[in-house]
Amino acid sequence: MLLGAIAFFASSFVIQGLLGFALGGEYFASIPAMREEPLVHLAMFATLIMGIGFSMLYPLTAFRGGPVVRGVKYGLLVGLIVVPFLALDIAGRFDIPSVGTWIVIQGALGMLHFVTAGMLVGLIFREKTGLPPSKGT
């Protein structure tokens, strides 16, 4: 569980943090509701909690295939649950200057993050799921 949470946290840092800053840093800074000096410790704590939950749920899944394929399927599933909130709901509730830009950046980065985190967790857990080992189907 700890390795899975660390993998989720690291993939979030790389994809949402570094890549997100590179692709949309100036755009994010232009949003009136954004803090000039973010409270990074809160974001890091939230990501760690989400990573623990992400890792705890993975062994309960019943996806078929090898570890990477199961991880991708799991990441897509969780991404389909979480990313619409990040990409659509926040844009609908806050004064986001360019809703289209927000949706594209948050949607793409969010799905990339969850698929990457799913692959990493799939590799970490390998065959440790609630199912018997698969034959690659």
Per-residue pLDDT reduced to its tens digit, 60-77: 999 999 999 999 999 999
Residue 136 falls inside a structural domain: no
Residue 133 falls inside a structural domain: no
Give the predicted TM-score (pTM) of the model: 0.79
Q: Helix crossing, 40-57 with 2-12: angle to 10°?
A: 130
The residue range of the domain holding 105 is 2-125
In one letter, which amino acid is 15? I
Question: Residue 110: is its pLDDT beyond 80?
Answer: yes
Model confidence at 2, in pLDDT bands (50, 70, 90)? confident
Asked if residue 54 lies in contact with residue 8, where contact means CB atoms within 8 angstroms, the answer is yes
* Number of domains forming the structure of the chain: 1
